[in-house]
């Protein structure tokens, strides 16, 4: 990995740490406070974290990689990292909670850790990579 990639990795994880807080708060409010089914609550909590993380990645993690079309970048982020996160979280939450009888919050932390590396790679190499047209 290059020095720049390491710096992005560290920033990505700092943003991810904040996103974990967002995800756990939303999940707790929906599941424990509003009694929403844990899988639906998980999907909504992950999407809240995805949007939160996108804003921070755009303005902090990959700030030097400007884009003329932030809406397209948000769509790319949602369709890649967001989809990996939501699908990965739903599948792994079902396995950890239903099959392994794990507490839903602990299960959620485990799924976040598993999805993290794939999300970094797709974000660094695809979502926040500026195109040749945008560099001109």
Profile the chain (136 residues) by mean pLDDT over runs of 10 residues.
Answer: 92 95 96 95 94 97 92 95 88 93 91 88 91 50
Looking up tokens 């999407």, which residue turns up? Answer: 47
Whole-number pLDDT of residue 108: 83
pLDDT of residue 131: 62
Which pLDDT score is estimated for 66? 87
List the domain boundaries for the chain: 3-129
pTM score: 0.82
pLDDT at 114: 86
The pLDDT assigned to 54 comes to: 97
């Amino acid at each position: 990995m290059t020095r720049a990639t390491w710096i992005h990795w560290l920033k990505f994880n700092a943003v991810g740490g904040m996103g974990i807080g967002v995800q756990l708060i939303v999940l707790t409010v929906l599941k424990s406070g509003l009694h929403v089914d844990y899988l639906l609550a998980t999907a909504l909590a992950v999407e809240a974290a995805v949007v939160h993380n996108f804003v921070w990645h755009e303005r902090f993690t990959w700030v030097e990689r400007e884009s003329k079309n932030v809406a397209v970048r948000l769509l790319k982020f949602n369709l890649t990292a967001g989809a990996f996160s939501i699908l990965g979280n739903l599948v792994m939450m079902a396995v950890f909670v239903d099959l392994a009888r794990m507490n839903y919050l602990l299960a959620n932390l485990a799924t976040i850790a598993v999805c993290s590396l794939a999300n970094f790679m797709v974000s660094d190499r695809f979502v926040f990579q500026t195109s040749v047209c945008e560099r001109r």
